[in-house]
Chain A
């Protein structure tokens, strides 16, 4: 079955090549440009992976991720953060709010595909929320 990816990115110049890359590699991709649109799309599109930019126009990537995780089916979805910021704080925040991976721009096509593959094949139990991973503080 084709895996579904929800790409949440407000920069169309990034959406075009990324969406094409993912589609060429066999994923069903839907692109939205805001966190609120992403949350609204979840029940209908039911993605396996959400690729989230951090800085979005309405609610930021962290808020979107927390909102997503609080939904009934939220822990099933894998979340990959894309960040145009350098620094450990964004990464810590991403992991704190339940991200499965954190990718810093610029990245290679192969790099994002590998990360995608990694999070989709990750073998942790479905009922265990990602936020309990040991590299983060607390139970956020």
Chain B
């Protein structure tokens, strides 16, 4: 309740009590009088009414002044003093009360300040000692954090719900978007750009099917109790690099999977190099075999037939000399680039029948192509990267479907010792060589999936071949035959990655509290405020009238998770408002019109910002204004922000109702927050985030722990009635 309202209620109640008591006393006095005494008193009052009335008014006025003085010098100062002491005891120990009031209240304030000084000195001493004790372990933590940050491989750890608990710089480089950058659409046409961040879902940055596939593989390996429990797959990074992912499970004390460690390595260059070397090696061997054949054939002719005419003999000898020289040249060529490589592009054994089943499933779901698998007795295993190979076959089927216009094909599977054959038969001619060469050289782009390698590279990697032929069964039909080398079983040619078991105590660095996350629904009203994930944001605009045509010119946001402001995970984007920028607004935020000329428009920016805010609670200062700006763009952009919203202005009024000023600057000053970058969207968002973090424990002291409670309390505040 506001101070003025409190005073009016207090004064009203005091007067009403006084009048009631006086009325009762007068009534009793009147009752005790004899009739003639009442007559005398009535006459006296009538005669002297003006004096008596003036005396009563003066009495009441005097009483009012006394009440006002009492309220101003005792009630209000004590109330403020209480809030200020709360501040000192909670978020800002260096805050000192400057409350003016009665002599006693002022003295009390001085004593409180003195006590706070002593307490802070004591606290500083204790803190220094703690810091000293922590310094040693901090060095160790820094080394570990630096090592993690500078690892050449991307490292990403998530819990069993898929929420990211840790990532290093390399992982962000591979998978994370840079919100500050120009919003551009990636090849592969994803609807919205993915963001890598603590607490975000891993499924936002990679295909859920890949992770589930890896989890299934890990579960099977754990069941078999094999040494190598890791799963492997390849995926595409944000810059179209080909990434090899190695997934290692984290097990709890009961041997249950409680999280995953994902190691990411860029193998793009290595894959290309491997392909190049493979082709080069094949070419070299082919030349050598031919030359050796010519030499051997000629030499044996000379040896076998003594009657060869002289001219023919000379020809054969000359051929042997030439071919020997050519072989020597070939062998002596500089082959410094043919050192063996190890792309570690993962291939794992799987049943050929399972591979075919995956192809059938993908074709049915995405191509609407029915693959009829004919009965077979093939139990052979093949070593494959199932994702890449299924994508390769799907890519071929996609191309095929566009030529033959059928929705039904037949598949035959057979093995013969070293090889597995998969025949895909269709009505029509066999694919011509020119088209086939074109398909081989094209990058694998199937529907919305993409791998930055060609069909030939994938096949080479698997030592496989696709062949186009005509099959008589009994009538001629087109056939694509996939040859795959069969394998016995997992021969363990890759290194063994063993499981990680969590120690009893928490690891020494980074916050793994998300392991304790209840459920997967981050928007639950009943969850504690300290458990939720927030996007604290602010907008800068051309003016203060959203409905009158003012536009957003800048959006800044930062994430808050587990009571930590994640300064590395920010969104900072200027917006071209496609209208003029009033000088009055430039004076406030400092953004010049020319700074906005080449910036993206609001429809582009909001789509990315929407992805950045996904699954988080929105927090803003005076959120009604910012939300109104966003809501007015819903129809134009098709982007709707349905996230729950909290407003630091309301929350401040909830915890400090006696304070008059709830502006960002005033709250920041009260809470001891240094303000940097005021009136820039990102600067204000960061300050708002820090304010929010300081408000959370104060709300808890008032019994407000959950999102629903915070929202309910906010609604009751005076500021909640502001509408734009």
Q: Which B residues, 282 to 304, have Cβ-Cβ distances below 8 Å to chain A?
A: 282, 285-287, 289-294, 296-298, 300-301, 304
Q: List residues of chain A with CB within 8 A of the CB of B287.
A: 84
The answer to whether A125 has its CB under 8 Å from any CB of chain B is no
**How many Å lie between the Cα of A88 and that of B419 in the bound state?**
7
**B-chain residues with CB within 8 Å of residue A20 when the two chains form the complex:** 301, 312, 316
B719 neighbours in A (Cβ, 8 Å): none
Q: Are A139 and B473 in contact (CB under 8 A)?
A: yes
CA distance A43 to B417 in the complex (A): 38
Given contacts A85-B285, A109-B301, A140-B479, contact A14 B469 (CB under 8 A): no
Residue from B463, B471, B485 within 8 A of A139 (CB atoms): B471
Kindly state whether residue B549 has any CB partner on chain A within 8 Å.
Answer: no
Known interface pairs A13-B319, A55-B286; A88-B485 also in contact (CB < 8 Å): yes
Which of A26-34, A44-52, A89-97, A116-124 makes up part of the contact surface? Answer: A89-97
Contact A17 B294 (CB under 8 A): yes
Residues of chain A with a CB closer than 8 A to B461's CB? none
**How many angstroms between the C-alpha atoms of A14 and B372 in the bound complex?**
46
Interface residues of B in 387-434 (CB under 8 A from A): 412, 414, 416-419, 421, 423, 433
B494 to chain A, nearest CB (A): 23
Cβ B418 vs Cβ A88 within 8 A: yes
**Contact, CB under 8 Å: A89 / B419:** yes
A109 touches B304 (CB 8 A): yes
Q: How far is the CA of A35 from the CA of B296 in the complex (A)?
A: 25
A84-B285, A140-B469 given as contacts; is B414 within 8 A of A13 (CB)?
no
Chain B residues closer than 8 Å to A59, beta-carbon distance: 433
* B303-336 contact mask (Cβ, 8 Å, vs A): 1 or 0: 0110000001001100100110000000000000
Q: Are B467 and A62 in contact (CB under 8 A)?
A: yes
State in angstroms the CA–CA spacing of A59 and B467 once bound together.
14
Residue interface mask A57-90, B partner, CB < 8 A = 1: 0010011001000100000000000001111110
* Measured CA separation A55–B285 after assembly (Å): 13
B interface footprint on A104-138 (CB within 8 Å = 1, 0 otherwise)? 11111110000000000000000000000001111
A13 with B294: in contact, given A93-B483, A140-B472 (CB under 8 Å)? yes
Q: Which of A6-32 contact B (CB under 8 A)?
A: 11, 13-14, 16-18, 20-21, 24
B638 within 8 A of partner (CB)? no
Q: Does B340 contact A (CB under 8 A)?
A: no
Q: Is the CB of A135 within 8 A of B286?
A: no
A54 to B, closest residue via Cβ: B286
**Of the residues B282, B292, B315, B464, contact of A16 by C-beta under 8 Å:** B315
Q: Which residue of A lies closest to B422 (CB)?
A: A137
Contacts of B418 in A (CB 8 A): 88
The reply to whether A21 and B473 form a contact with Cβ atoms under 8 Å apart is no
Q: How far is the CA of A59 from the CA of B437 in the complex (A)?
A: 12
B292 and A137 contacting across the interface, CB-CB below 8 Å: no
Nearest Cβ on chain A to B486's Cβ, whole angstroms: 9
Q: Which residues of A contact B662 (CB under 8 A)?
A: none
CB of A97 to closest CB in B, whole Å: 6
> Does B586 touch A at the CB level, under 8 Å?
no
Q: Is A21 a contact partner of B297 (Cβ separation < 8 A)?
A: yes
Find chain B residues with CB under 8 A from A86 CB: 285
CB–CB A97/B469 < 8 A: yes
* The residue from B282, B290, B463, B467 contacting A13, defined by CB atoms under 8 A apart: B290
B305:A106 contact, CB within 8 angstroms? no
Which residue of chain B lies nearest to A59 when distances are taken between CB atoms in the complex?
B433
B519: Cβ under 8 A from any A Cβ: no
Whether A17 lies near B322 (C-beta < 8 A) is no
Q: How far is the CA of A87 from the CA of B418 in the complex (A)?
A: 10
CA distance A21 to B298 in the complex (A): 9
In the complex formed, the residue of A with least CB distance to B302 is A17
Smallest CB–CB gap between A5 and chain B, Å?
15
Q: How far is the CA of A94 from the CA of B293 in the complex (A)?
A: 20
Interface string of B260-287 (1 = CB under 8 A from A): 0000000000000000000000100111
Expressed in whole angstroms, the minimum distance between the Cβ of B650 and any Cβ of chain A is 71
- Contact in complex: A108, B300 (CB < 8 Å): yes
Inter-chain CA distance A135–B290, complex, in Å, is: 27
Q: With A63-B433, A92-B483 as given contacts, are A105 and B292 in contact (CB-CB < 8 Å)?
A: yes
Question: Of all chain A residues, which has the CB nearest B465?
Answer: A89
Give Cα A57 to B289, complex, Å.
Answer: 18
Give CA–CA (A63, B474) in the complex, Å: 20
The chain A residue with its CB closest to the CB of B464 is: A89
Residue of A nearest to B413 (CB): A137
Distance in angstroms between the alpha carbons of A107 and B294 in the assembled complex: 9
B438-472 interface with A by 8 A CB criterion: 463-465, 467, 469-472
Whether the pair B421, A66 counts as a contact (CB closer than 8 A) is: no
> Chain B's nearest CB lies how many Å from the CB of A70?
8
Contact B293 A105 (CB under 8 A): yes
CB-CB under 8 A from B315, the residues of chain A are 16
Q: A11-B290, A59-B433, A106-B289 are in contact. Are A140 and B471 (CB under 8 A)?
A: yes
Q: How far is the CB of A83 from chain B (nearest CB, A)?
A: 8
| B327 to A: closest C-beta gap in Å | 11
> Quick check: B296 and A137 within 8 Å, CB to CB?
no
Residue of A nearest to B432 (CB): A63
In the bound complex, CA of A104 to CA of B285 (Å): 12
B170 at interface (Cβ–Cβ under 8 A)? no
User: Which B693-713 residues have a C-beta within 8 angstroms of A?
Assistant: none
Beyond contacts A18-B297, A20-B301, A96-B469: 14 other A-B pairs, Cβ-Cβ < 8 A, are: A14-B297, A16-B294, A20-B312, A21-B297, A84-B287, A86-B285, A89-B419, A89-B464, A105-B293, A109-B296, A137-B423, A137-B481, A138-B423, A140-B479
7 closest A-B pairs by CB: A106-B292, A17-B297, A84-B286, A105-B289, A84-B289, A137-B414, A106-B293
B residues with a Cβ closer than 8 A to A are 282, 285-287, 289-294, 296-298, 300-301, 304-305, 312, 315-316, 319, 322-323, 412, 414, 416-419, 421, 423, 433, 463-465, 467, 469-474, 479, 481, 483, 485
* Interface set of A (CB-CB < 8 Å, partner B): 11, 13-14, 16-18, 20-21, 24, 55, 59, 62-63, 66, 70, 84-89, 92-93, 96-97, 104-110, 135-140
